[in-house]
Amino acid sequence: MSMEPRPARETDLAVLPEIERSGDAMFADLGIVFPPGPMVIETMIGKGADILVAGNPPVGFAAVRELDGAAHLEQISVRSDLVGHGIGGRLLKEVLARAAEEGAPGVSLLTFRDVPWNGPWYARHGFAVLPEERWTPGLRAHWNAEVGARLHELGPRVVMWAPSPGPDDTDRSTM
């Protein structure tokens, strides 16, 4: 089965919430239990997000949307029994490549700072914490929405950023 990322097809969408649910169960082992409500992917489907999947049927996905002229990774999730096989890394690499191809200055995301497969994992893939003074209005609004939804009570959160390479392959680190 090919695990190379590809755009999601209509027939892929029904299995994505279950993939996210299986990933969320891993957080429970750390004492992080998400409040009831729709899965992130359910809020992205049909709302203009670019959804990439790995596998056929999918075993992982990434949902990306435009935010203040940059790409914003809303969610990346891999079926819990396949975590650690490089699927998430392939999806993330494709997200970064597509952002660069589309001329985005980079990719932003919000994540748990200390969860090993969140902040530290993204840092190993070229992301760094974005200082608050560099947040765009959209990032600030996203942060505030998370605070309002009490997500920050579950553990320290950070905004992270990975710049796209410029035309001469130099770092375009500003938003």
Q: What is the 3-state secondary structure (H, E, C) of 39-54?
A: CHHHHHCCCCCEEEEE
Note the pLDDT tens digit of each residue in 4-26.
999 999 999 999 999 999 988 88
Contact in structure between 68 and 14 (CB atoms under 8 Å): no
Residue 107 in tokens: 């990719």
Two tokens at 119?
């902040």
pTM score of the predicted model: 0.90
The strand order across the sheet containing 50-54 reads: 6-7, 50-54, 60-67, 70-78, 106-112, 157-163, 128-129
Q: What is the pLDDT of residues 145-162, one digit of tens each?
A: 999 988 999 999 999 999
